[in-house]
Structure 1
Amino acid sequence: MRVLAAMSGGVDSAVAAARAVDAGHDVVGVHLALSRAGGTLRTGSRGCCTIEDALDARRTADLLGIPFYVWDFSERFREDVIEDFISEYQAGRTPNPCLRCNEKIKFAALLERAIELGFDTVCTGHYATLIDSGDGLELHRASDSAKDQSYVLGVLNADQIAHTYFPLGETPSKALVRAEAEQRGITVAQKPDSHDICFIPDGDTRGWLAEKVGTATGEVVDRTGSVVGTHEGAHAFTVGQRRGLKLGVPAADGKPRFVLEVRPVSNTVVVGPKEALAIAEISGQRFSWAGPAPKAPEFECEVQIRAHADPVPARAFVSSDGVRVVPETPLDGVAPGQSAVIYVGTRVLGQFTIDTTVSAVPVDA
């Protein structure tokens, strides 16, 4: 099998490529250049896709004895991930850029080019597993629950899953992957995992957004519409946020207040008590299925709204209008723009982008 190994420069993709070679596949390594800033350097665990990462990937490819290339996807990344991130915040939504990168870059643009060049599959270091159900391949959680990355892969469709290879999915722990890398002589065996948003390596999302879209003074109001403070740009806030609120009027009960809603058209931020963050229902129009679609329009499932959140038992309803999910217990601090990934057991059934939420706490409560 001809395998294109996506090599980020980290230990996971390095070991995944090595296992593909061990399995006897015809492997070619590729690193995706996602930034036009060629001198970008990595700082500890912040950032990824830097020039240092490309060099680390090349060293691993040389060790494995496989061809290696760097492909410039910076323009596609800018359009599909960075600009999408900015526009979503401007619309008062909270996007997940890593999930969007998987959808638009690693398993769309990269896979499309791989197939055009005659490769059978793309190999990555993601922690997830694929199971052939007889009706088609299904995407499932990884054996290591602490490293499971099935949430950010929930955007994959059946065709993409059919051309995907996850050699690390059955590995019980990341420690074993690092130990294997050490044994193989891979230099990035102890390289820190990347955190934060890769194109905002200093972690200052608020400052980065202010630089891109500017600032504009607006009002902070409570759930009744009373003005309780001001802000310098609604795009800098997200649902569930507590820090950074400039509130001149304290709550009647003296308790802290949290962001409940962002209204970009009026440049208004709505705040309220922590209890009001409880969400009884979520829904969205943009959805996809990770393999065979559900056979019934209504079914029991579990829903996960963040990469490292616990799944919550729920009931899903599918129609021509989209997907609606009612959890057994309220979800906490859900923001429009987030992705809700639907599971049935360990299987990733699909996902949808959250458009609307229904609070479990009435305004007059």
Structure 2
Amino acid sequence: MSVGILILRLWMLGGSSPAFSDQDNPASFSPSLVTRALTFLYLPVFNAWLLLCPWSLSHDWQMGSVALVTSPFDLRNLASVLLYGGLALALRAGLVIKGRDGNGILLGLVLLVVPFLPATNLFFTVGFVVAERILYIPSLGYALLISIGLSRLGRLRAPCLLLLLMAFSCRTVQRNRDWESRETLFVAGLRTLPHNAKMHYNYANLQKDLGNTNLAKYHYEEAIRLWPGLTQRPQQPDATQRHDGRRDPLPPRPQGPPAARPRLLQPRQPQAAARACRRSRGPPGGEPALRCHQQGRRVSLGRALRRRRTPCRSREPSPGSSWGAADRSCGAQ
């Protein structure tokens, strides 16, 4: 199934890989092979820390949110060594330990590592630095490994499990509040990543929509300062807000005198057009019948407009008629 989805994706892209910019994945655009290798080795460590301690969360990690590892003497390389060493020890423990626990460790490692491999830039370049959505399936393996570890703590198992449940539940409730609205989400992003230019740009757009011009200008300037290559600019006021948050330009206004503008009702003689339509009507559901139906709707609209423009001037009954006939004739005008 995975191979089929991959083939379908390549077919939809015309056999070419998607194009990304340096804003999406800065490490892949680095000219230094050392920087690219060390940064790609460190990114799984960053994701593993999000599983262990999901305190600093954000909906977008682009534009330098994670600094590049440019030197072998960077202390973050030590964290990379500890992570891969820990995974190797866990694999050895799964192979050595027999029975249910050993199989559980191996299954947890498979669920933790294999679904994450496409996001490691190992086989192909991806369009993001860190994306919390790719940790959904690996979190199953993480939970399985944690449960196996807690089962070996003896009397400390229950207190540690209760502490973990309380801590992660509180963090879940707090994070759900961040997603209540656009403003709360952008404020939470700025609180987590104040050095992210895209966070400032999104928040500036929001404040511009709310009418806070000075605050929007400040965050626009901050976004350009943090990312000088940011070419996007504040949108012009001749735009209309859509339901999905984006903006579309207003349609051009018709030029010239009102007489030169197109008329809404095309048929000038609706009665004659309706009679000709009835004579040429084809079978129900056919194309001539559909045109007749649409034209009949225009004729009905024309009658309604004429009735609205033409008032009933007299309500006196004509000779030989009654008040009811006068009312019906008045309403038919």
Q: TM-score, normalised by structure 1?
A: 0.22
Which of the two has higher C-alpha Rg? 2
Determine which structure has the larger strand proportion and give its number.
1
Larger helix proportion of the pair? 2
Which fold has the larger relative contact order, with Cα–Cα distance below 8 Å and residues 6 or more apart in sequence?
1
Q: TM-score, normalised by structure 2?
A: 0.24
